[in-house]
Structure 1
Amino acid sequence: MLKRAFPRLFTISLQKNFFISQMRDWHEGSWVWYLIWSRTLYEREHSDVSRLKQCIEQIKPNRDMEDAVIWKSSGSLYYPAKSIGVKIIESHAPTLPKHIINLVWQKLITPRAQMSVWLASLEKLKTGDFHVEKGIIDSQMASCPFCNLETESNSHILFTCRFSWSVMKMLEWWSLSSVLHNRCTNFSIEWFGLLKSRKGRNLWGLIFGCVIWSLWYERNKIGF
């Protein structure tokens, strides 16, 4: 870590024995670092030395413990490759609660429908409001292709548009009625909550995924 942070100092030290790091005894219960330089430092090097000292002073050896390498992300003595992959994904990709993920990635739902529900749950469908925000189109061109009354957004195109909601009225086929949310994550939770038992859960999820995908498919047919 120190070598990556201070490549110039380490390169000189290896080639010309620029400095020698000596670790003295414990002083009043604390570990003391000593840096002995073989020549007078140049002015430009003082800032690097200050950063080096700040870095190594954070290292506090414990007299009662043996040295060991520990992967902090998991607290393991071994390096688990999977954990670094998870960290990278978490830092660059938006995530959803686990129960939402389980609802989206059901085996019976086709991959196209899964992707549509996934993007809708993340509010990442490329709707009119998205294109306006990115400066791709004017706000006058961002109206809903179904009703042409409001600006197209994730929630509107799938749930609050009068055309989309007329499709969602299929609930009446099963003599069900409910006030549902207009965001995909909350809507999906309430959708599955309409089932009185776990029987038919996969089929119920298939219906939900297919409806979302069909609405998005028809929207794209009109737009393109």
Structure 2
Amino acid sequence: MGTSDIAALPVRLGAALRGRRLFHPSGVRAEGLLERVAPDGEGLPMESCDVIGRVSKGVGSPGSLPDVAGLAWRMPPPQDLHGCTPWDVLLASTLAGSRVALAPILGWQGATFSSLMPLQYRGAAWWVRAKLATPLESGGLSLQTVRDQIDSDGMVFDIDQAPRSGQFQPLARLTLRHLDPSSDDIAFDPTMHSDPDVTLLPRWLGEFRRAAYRRSREGRDAQ
């Protein structure tokens, strides 16, 4: 058992006690569409495709109370590559202007999400950021607000990318448009499900996250 596995053992215990994810236990899952807006070959290799998305609360605070907000989506593997896994992207709310400082937010309106770790692709490191583009009438951080919005008119996020120390530029637009009636316990894991040419940096932190996600699945008997 490696150091990362040992350090991640509390995650397994916490997930077992909860019977669900230790982090981001409450969420809304939906089908959607990712539309690339960046020029082909510029930055990360995200292409236009159908996706499964999830908007969540990190601690699972009830009702509209503040929390660390999460946004995740799963893209299918490239059609021309056999045996590849889907590609999962996970983002979380951060302090204004920060790419790494997790922070709770008061409401969905104006929410900004970060990958927290850069993604390495063909020797370059890229950050991913998302901003909610859909205006919401209700305040607070209620998942019911998210559910109602997706069920009525859909929910749109602008996805940006930035080189390691550069400025963010538009990458894609993510639209969540149909609530997914299946189980909410899809195991998003950016360390196990990724484009074959994309890895999280730094690698040691990626290994810890891999162990933590695995321990969480073990704790709640998820695949």
Same fold (TM over 0.5): no
- TM-score range relative to shorter protein: under 0.3
TM-score (norm 1): 0.24
User: Computing the radius of gyration over CA atoms, which structure comes out larger, 1 or 2?
Assistant: 1
| Structure ranking higher in helix proportion | 1
Query: In proportion to residue count, which structure has more strand?
Result: 2
**Higher relative contact order (CA closer than 8 Å, sequence separation 6+):** 2
What is the TM-score normalised by the length of structure 2? Answer: 0.24
